[in-house]
């Protein structure tokens, strides 16, 4: 949909940003609790020859079996949330007035109550499919991953702001510039990009 591009624009403007997809990689790295728990839950088949997580093998398991996906989420989501909450706390202690947390499954994980505002980055289903194929995913992988998420219409309904991202990066930048700053200049680190 364009969450990463939107996050990059906020970062260019000096707003601290953390992306939970990156945190997910960190907490599932060898030696981390997430890695150990994933290996215990799913076995050696999800560990590559280099000893790191074989993400393709794990994705094949979890996106074809809802129970396996729920198991993986029960391992990773608490670790990811703990990490981004710690980062937000650090921002606040540093006197940052705002921050952005990018969470692809914000509503699905029930994390929306942690935020002052939610900005939903959305695009047409056709463009979303094209973008996912450009990442190297085949049609079946795209279908499975989208089925694991809420429909975009439901996310739009629950968001405070919606940025429609069917155009250029310049248009995205201009739309994000229209999101008003927090009122009263209060310090808040509770902004999220869904």
How many Å apart are CA 111 and CA 32, to the nearest integer?
Answer: 23
Name 47's bridge partners: 53
Q: What distance in Å separates the CA atoms of residue 85 and residue 105, rounded to the nearest whole number?
A: 16
Residue spans of the domains in the chain: they are: 3-193
pLDDT at 183: 58
**What top-level class would CATH report for the domain 3-193?**
alpha beta
Give the residue-averaged pLDDT of 167-176. 92
Nearest in space to 100 (alpha carbons), one of 1, 187, 19: 19
Q: pLDDT by residue (tens digit) across 58-67?
A: 988 998 899 9
pTM: 0.83
Q: What is the dihedral of CA 142, 143, 145, 149, to 10 degrees?
A: 130
Q: What is the DSSP string of 23-65?
A: HHHHHTSTTSHHHHHHHHHH-GGGB-TTSSB-HHHHHHHHTS-
What value does the mean pLDDT take over residues 161-174? 92
Closest-CA residue to 105 (of 189, 169, 188, 23): 23
Cβ neighbourhood burial of 113 (10 Å; 0-12, 13-18, 19+): exposed
Q: Which of 106, 115, 104, 90 is nearest to 22 (CA)?
A: 104
Mean pLDDT of 85-105: 93
Cα(78)–Cα(97) distance, integer angstroms = 26
């Amino acid at each position: 949909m364009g969450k990463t591009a939107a996050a990059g624009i906020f970062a260019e403007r000096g707003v601290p940003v953390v992306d939970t997809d990156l945190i997910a990689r960190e907490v599932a790295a060898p030696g981390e609790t997430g890695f150990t728990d994933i290996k215990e839950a799913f076995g050696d088949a999800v560990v590559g020859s280099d000893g790191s997580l074989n993400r393709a093998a794990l994705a094949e398991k979890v996106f074809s079996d809802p129970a396996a996906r729920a198991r993986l989420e029960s391992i990773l989501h608490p670790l990811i949330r703990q990490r981004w909450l710690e980062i937000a706390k650090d921002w606040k202690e540093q006197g940052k007035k705002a921050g952005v947390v990018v969470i692809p499954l914000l509503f699905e994980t029930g994390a929306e109550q942690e935020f002052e505002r939610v900005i939903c980055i959305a695009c047409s289903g056709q463009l979303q499919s094209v973008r996912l194929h450009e990442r190297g995913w085949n049609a079946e992988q795209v279908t499975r991953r989208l089925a694991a998420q809420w429909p975009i219409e439901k996310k739009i309904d629950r968001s405070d702001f919606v940025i429609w991202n069917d155009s250029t990066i310049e248009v995205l930048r201009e739309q994000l510039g229209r999101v008003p700053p927090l009122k009263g200049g209060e310090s808040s680190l509770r902004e999220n990009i869904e």
